[in-house]
Amino acid sequence: MRRAIVAGNWKMHGSRTENARLIEELLAHCPAQPAATCVVCPPFVYLQETGRMLRGSVLSLGGQDVCADAQGAFTGEVSAAMLKDVGCEYVIVGHSERRLLYRESDQLVARKFGAAHAKGLVPILCVGEQLADRDAGRTHEVVARQLDVVLELCGAGALERGVVAYEPVWAIGTGRNATPEQAQDAHEFIRARIGARDARIAAATRILYGGSVKAGNATELFAMPDVDGGLIGGASLKADEFLTILAAAGPG
């Protein structure tokens, strides 16, 4: 049985005041034993302070990105060891905003995945096609390419603890989520792709859906057999909305 994960990707939002309010509200209303693992991913500069607020709670901390290199002269970068040092358990790698806006290649993303895994973080590998790819019937091809580079470089074993997030680019921040059937199709494909290398790991890998998940559509998306929770952008900035999504990821 795969335990679902609901992770909030705050992206470049928030302030110390806003974060404190959000975390206070989350902690006040989060069930003592949520049915799914709950993770929040604030911007780097707020990780330590957010981690302090979360200490002893059921909420876990994650970074939004990580350097592929372990340490050294890499101005502006943050290493996996540093993320661990400030209390992160998770880190997002290969978000489409990083791939598209900052030109991160499949190879770089795979190295980041490996760097995070090597330091004991749980990498959340984002994959997903752009609208033109979907319209051209290339969804599986794109997702396979993004996934295969990680499987080649890190091995299927690196997914033992790892998480994949299917985030169709056309659904991110657009209010247009993939239908449950579209999500299930991509998730099933991803699981089969991993399964071709290692069936046991494929069965255990959590595959999250991301892209305009809201309180109103989470239940039907999470009901699909290969959807093991969600990676939530905009709706993770509103405590009530995020907690409703978390509840929707529970068993049944």
Q: Which residues are catalytic?
A: 95, 167
Using the contact rule CB under 6 A, the part of the chain among 49-57, 134-142, 206-214, 218-226 near ligand 13P is: 206-214
What is the Cα gyration radius of the chain? 17
**Residues in the chain, total:** 252
Q: Residue 236 and residue 124: Cα distance in Å, rounded?
A: 16
The residue written with tokens 């699981």 in the block is 191
By rule CB under 6 A, what count of residues binds ligand 13P? 14
Q: Residue 4 and residue 141: Cα distance in Å, rounded?
A: 26
Nearer to ligand 13P, 47 or 156 (CB): 47
Q: Residue 192 and residue 167: Cα distance in Å, rounded?
A: 17
- Let me know if 12 is exposed, middle or buried by CB neighbors in 10 A (0-12, 13-18, 19+): exposed
Nearer to ligand 13P, 13 or 84 (CB): 13
Using the contact rule CB under 6 A, the part of the chain among 18-26, 54-62, 143-151, 230-238 near ligand 13P is: 230-238
Residue 211 engages ligand 13P in binding (rule: CB under 6 A) = yes
Nearer to ligand 13P, 142 or 235 (CB): 235
- Let me know if 23 is exposed, middle or buried by CB neighbors in 10 A (0-12, 13-18, 19+): buried
Q: How many separate helices (H) and strands (E) can be counted in the chain? A: 11, 8
Q: Residue 166 and residue 210: Cα distance in Å, rounded?
A: 6
Residue 233 engages ligand 13P in binding (rule: CB under 6 A) = yes
Phi/psi-derived region of residue 34, left when phi > 0, alpha when psi is between -120 and 50, beta in every other case:
beta
Pick from 104, 106, 129, 167 the residue near ligand 13P by CB under 6 A. Answer: 167
Q: State the nearest-atom distance from the C-beta of 98 to ligand 13P, in Å.
A: 10
Q: State the nearest-atom distance from the C-beta of 169 to ligand 13P, in Å.
A: 9
Pick from 9, 19, 60, 79 the residue near ligand 13P by CB under 6 A. Answer: 9
Q: Residue 95 and residue 106: Cα distance in Å, rounded?
A: 11
Pick from 110, 159, 232, 243 the residue near ligand 13P by CB under 6 A. Answer: 232
Residue 104 engages ligand 13P in binding (rule: CB under 6 A) = no
Q: State the nearest-atom distance from the C-beta of 123 to ligand 13P, in Å.
A: 14
Nearer to ligand 13P, 13 or 161 (CB): 13
Nearer to ligand 13P, 189 or 209 (CB): 209
Residue 95 engages ligand 13P in binding (rule: CB under 6 A) = yes
Q: Residue 225 and residue 234: Cα distance in Å, rounded?
A: 25
Q: State the nearest-atom distance from the C-beta of 211 to ligand 13P, in Å.
A: 5
How is residue 2 annotated by DSSP?
P
Residues contributing to the site for ligand 13P (CB under 6 A): 9, 95, 167, 172-173, 210-213, 231-235
